[in-house]
Structure 1
Amino acid sequence: MTPLPSSLAIARYHFDWEVETPMRLPEYAGSALRGVFGAALRRIACLSGEPTCTGCGIVNTCPWSMIFEAPPPAGRHAVQHFARIPNPYIIEPPAWGKRLFYPGERLTFGMVLVGRALVQLPLIILAWQRALARGVGHDNGTAHLLGVRQILPDGSEQVIYDPEVGVVMEHARAVTPTAMPAAEAEQITLHLLTPLRIQREGKPLGPGRLTPRDFLLTLARRISLLAEFHAGLHLGLDFPELTARSEAMTAHGSLGWRDWTRWSGRQQQEMTLGGVTGRWTLRGDLTPFWSLLYLGQWLHVGKNATFGLGKYELNQPKSKGAVA
């Protein structure tokens, strides 16, 4: 099997805010935050002024489309056929259930950037500042930015942006998977923190239907496409071999189903979505999947990952890797 590169251009950031006017967020705020971020980014970056990107001559170089809604490639693709490719960002909203923030309170949420999106960090910070100055949530609550921290793979952190200074500090922007712990070569436990939405034949997989094959191949496809389209890396994963290896694995755990409701501006209606959460243990030869499982802690897996769904952590020692 073709080995993965020693590192991948990924960084996780935490944005810290002070709330200015009462802010009422949905129970799970990933979709709401994505909506105001995309609107603010478009107001800043769109040069054509057209309501849609269809027919725009600069869609393939526009910062808005390349960050927020990357256009699919022309023609056929070796991994899959798709109308869209995975976007190079993941929003990690505040903890589930925290809904009302009062003036003076601190609000923190995260964002993961991948590949070429990392060079757009100053623009992304500006878009977030404009978005929360305009308002988010049911009452259009506003907030001002206190700073941006990078969360390193070992759990430590560093401030990389202070609004008083106005310049993004140089910092490491790659994640290097650790060597696979010997104790986890044949068994590892995943903590599914936000709803995991994986479909088979167009139907969501619940706790009783999710298999190692579903999870691992979905993860492998996502990371392969992110690396190719946003970092210029062709991983050359051997999908037939990965399929055979994943089908030989077993899983058990304590899983449940969690629903959430979001408003779809595109469809102009509320949508009830849900996914699998809980603890899930994979058993079998994990060696071919270790780097993918490790990187997936940043990149999430499954549908609606840009909202923050499909987030998981591996049950392993506190240190989560090195920074290149």
Structure 2
Amino acid sequence: MRLEFQKYTIFLKPKKTILLPPYKGSTFRGGFGNSLKRVVCLFRNKNCQECPLNGECVYAYVFETMSLSKNPLFILDNHAVVPHPFIIEPPLERTTVYEPGSQISFNLVLIGRAVKYVLYFIMAFEQLGEVGIGKGRGKFEISKVEVDGQVIYSDADRALVPAESKIFEVPEEFIISDGHDETIGIEFLTPTRIKYQRQYISKIDFFILITNLMRRLALLNVYHGSAEVPRWNHKLIIEEAKKVKIIEDTTSWLDWQRYSHRQKTKMMLGGVIGGIKYEGKIKDFYPILRAGEIFHVGKGISFGLGMYRLLM
């Protein structure tokens, strides 16, 4: 399985004081959708599914990706959600006040076809800067966008230097090694919302993590990759994952609340943060775990939830 992606770092310069909450995922993700629609949509009062430009529209692809649930290629259960082809990774710092002269940066991960639309994403964030974010609607401008430390867009000329996308490969053949047991640590950097038996869990067993990662990667591949279901031997992989045990767990549950303008209600989006250490035959799971570092795991991923790093 091969997934195309690219990670961009977007740098903002406040024009006025910007007041943000400690967790900033909702701030950037919440206004982005409306801004993208303002940038690209010709028929704002028309339902995306009824629009004649649906098949070519950036907004429709990003936010209204059509379900393939009627296609025998991949059957979604009633609790699955078509994944968005982007992730906004907010700044992890706890700073809440940004004055003019300071800088805010966050990461934008684009997946599949969305990589080709990066300029539309940049323009949407430019438009969001004119509207303002946070309490008091503090306005900002984009100063630059980088890929791997190289500037591909700046406010000097507002011209995009194309950056070649990356490919992450996850083997579809799972080979059981005869290696010895080893340990691996995972630090959940943002609230991680994982379900098991339809309930959000605060203890993330290794096999539950792997199950959710495989599901996440399969959905991304179907909708934003080759449109094929990975040929994994799920039963074998999960059986092996169940042999890996938790040996240290310092995670905790962090409640996070956001207001949904679409649903006009407050939503609790808490999840697990902190560190956990596993022990067992882990080597064969490295590709799946490393994929999760890029593509996250669990629910609410477009808000930056489910971000973690491996501690080898």
Structure 1 length-normalised TM? 0.85
- The change in CA–CA distance for 1:68 and 1:260 in structure 2 (over 3 A counts) is same
Matches within 5 A, 1:47-66: 47-50=42-45, 52-66=47-61
Distance 1:74 1:108, change over 3 A: same
Report 1:222-261 matches (<5 A). 222-232=216-226, 234=228, 235-252=230-247, 253-261=249-257
Letter in 1 for 2:214: A
- 2:150 counterpart residue number: 158
Partner of 1:171: 163
Secondary structure of 2:67 counterpart = coil
Change in CA separation of 1:184 and 1:93 when aligned onto 2, cut-off 3 Å: farther
> Does the 8 A contact of 1:261 with 1:271 survive in 2?
yes
Query: In the alignment, what sits opposite 2:214?
Result: 220
Give the CA deviation at 1:167. Answer: 2.4
Shift of 1:195: 0.8
Unmatched 5+ residue regions in structure 1?
152-156, 317-324
1:310 aligns with 2:306: yes
Correspondence for 1:13: 8
Q: What letter corresponds to residue 280 of structure 2 in structure 1? A: G
SS at match of 2:48: coil
Alpha-carbon distance, 1:56 to partner: 3.2
Choose from 142, 147, 154 the match for 1:145.
Answer: 142
1:264 equivalent in alignment to 2:266: no
Which 10-residue stretch deviates more, 245-254 or 18-27?
245-254
* 1:69 Cα deviation after fit: 3.8
Q: Does the CA contact (< 8 Å) of 2:192 and 2:307 recur in 1? A: yes
Residues 1:232 and 1:163: Cα distance change in structure 2 (over 3 Å): farther
Residue 196 of structure 2 corresponds to which residue in structure 1? 200
1:294 is displaced (CA, Å) by 0.7
User: What is the distance in 2 between the residues matched to 1:107 and 1:261?
Assistant: 22
Shift of 1:68: 3.0
How far did 1:186 drift?
3.5
In the TM superposition, residue 78 of structure 1 has moved relative to its aligned partner by 3.6
State the 1:47 CA deviation. Answer: 2.6
CA, structure 1 residues 199+106, in 2 after alignment: closer, same or farther (shift >3 Å)? same
From 82, 87, 92, give the equivalent of 1:90.
Answer: 87
Partner of 2:174: none
Amino acid at match of 2:165: R
Match of 2:20? 25
Q: Secondary structure at the match of 1:251?
A: strand
Distance 1:299 1:185, change over 3 A: farther
Q: Structure 1 residues 40-49 or 107-116, which shifts more?
A: 40-49
The Cα of 1:46 is off from its aligned counterpart by 1.8
| Partner residue, 2:110 | 113
- Which secondary structure does the structure 2 equivalent of 1:43 belong to? helix
Q: Report the equivalent of 1:154.
A: none
Deviation at 1:282, TM superposition (A): 2.3
Given that 2:37 and 2:44 are in contact with CA atoms closer than 8 Å, whether structure 1 keeps it comes out as no
* Match of residue 278 from structure 2: 282
Q: Which amino acid aligns with 1:291?
A: P
The answer as to whether partners of 2:170 and 2:291 remain within 8 angstroms in 1 is: no
1:159-188 residue CA offsets vs partner (Å, 9 max, x unmatched): 111232322223231144699xx9997321
8 Å contact kept, 1:242–1:288? no
Q: Which moved more, 1:40-49 or 1:166-175?
A: 166-175
The Cα offsets for residues 58-116 of structure 1, whole Å up to 9 and x where unpaired, read as: 43432102123423224155463256311111001122522121122111111111111
Q: CA 1:63–1:198 in 2, change beyond 3 Å: closer, same or farther?
A: same
Tell me whether 69-78 or 295-304 shows the greater mean CA deviation.
69-78
What one-letter code is carried by the residue in structure 2 that aligns with 1:242? I
Report the CA distance between 1:10 and its aligned residue. Answer: 1.5
Residue identity in the other structure for 1:9? E
User: Given the superposition, is the C-alpha separation of residues 281 and 183 from structure 1 closer, same or farther in structure 2, using an over 3 Å criterion?
Assistant: farther
The separation in 2 between residues aligned to 1:55 and 1:146, in whole angstroms, is 37
Q: Is 2:97 the partner of 1:100?
A: yes
State whether residues 70 and 84 of structure 1, in contact with CA within 8 Å, keep that contact through their aligned partners in structure 2. no
What are the superposed Cα offsets for residues 24-65 of structure 1, whole Å, 9 maximum, x if unpaired? Answer: 112211112112111110111123222543433443432102
Structure 2 unaligned regions, length at least 5: 172-177
The list of structure 1 runs, each at least 4 consecutive aligned residues, that deviate by more than 4 angstroms after superposition, is 175-179, 182-185
Do 1:79 and 1:221's aligned partners in 2 also have CA atoms closer than 8 Å? Answer: no
Tell me how far apart the structure 2 counterparts of residues 269 and 291 of structure 1 sit (CA, whole Å): 39
What's the C-alpha RMSD, in Å, of the aligned pairs?
Answer: 2.4
Secondary structure at 2:95 match in 1: coil
| Normalised TM-score (structure 2) | 0.89
Calculate percent identity across the aligned residue pairs: 28
